[in-house]
Amino acid sequence: MRRKATLRAVVLVIDAFEAEGVPFWLAGGWGVDALLGRQTRQHRDLDVVIGDFERNEPKARRVLLFLGFDHVKTDKGGVWMPSRSSFEDEAGCLVELLDIDWEYLRGVLAFDSEHGSKLTAPSEELADEVFTVGTMNGRDVPCLTAAAQLLFHMGFPLEAAGQADISLLRSELGIAM
């Protein structure tokens, strides 16, 4: 079965996370689409960054299980997203819950750390660099900024869909690597 994350499935997940108070931001292809305010292509998954991952991933997991998703695996995410929990429903929609490595991100964005302790949550100024609000289906949705989207797409070989996302960020939002 070919995986497909439809707009209907994305809205269902967003509504459920909002109703349960799960802090989240769309990332990946759907995050790019939210920044652009329209669906640009078909998506095989939904990438969702979860705020305070250790505390909120279990809540997000319960929401997805209630919606009929099965937990598939927990593993290492991308370069700056150290943890990933993957879920799939009967229709083949894949949802990936992601954490953020704030220390790594702080270094990449060239913010000076005032404290030697490990960051588990963003400072206000760092959050402004990473999180924003986009639109999907005529409504505001939390998503990663264009700069954060570029980081999200780095550190691994990109498939055609990821390359298309980068092209859109560059051409329509004027974001440079």
21 domain residue, yes or no:
yes
2 assigned to some structural domain:
no
Global pTM value: 0.86
* Structural Rg of the chain based on CA atoms: 15
Please check whether residue 150 lies inside any domain of the structure: yes
Per-residue pLDDT of the chain (177 residues; tens, 9 = 90+): 467 899 999 999 999 999 999 999 999 999 999 999 999 999 999 999 999 999 999 999 999 999 999 999 999 877 778 899 999 999 899 999 999 888 777 777 664 445 444 445 556 667 888 999 999 989 999 999 998 888 877 766 778 887 888 888 888 777 765
pLDDT at 167 (0 to 100): 85
DSSP readout, 44-64? SEEEEEETTHHHHHHHHHHHH
Residue 13 within any structural domain of the chain: yes
Domains identified in the chain, total number: 1
Residue at 42 is within a domain = yes
132: domain range? 7-173
Cβ contacts of residue 69 below 8 Å, gap of 6+? 87, 88, 89, 93, 95
138: domain CATH number is: 3.30.460.40
Q: What is the dihedral of CA 81, 85, 89, 95, to 10 degrees?
A: -20
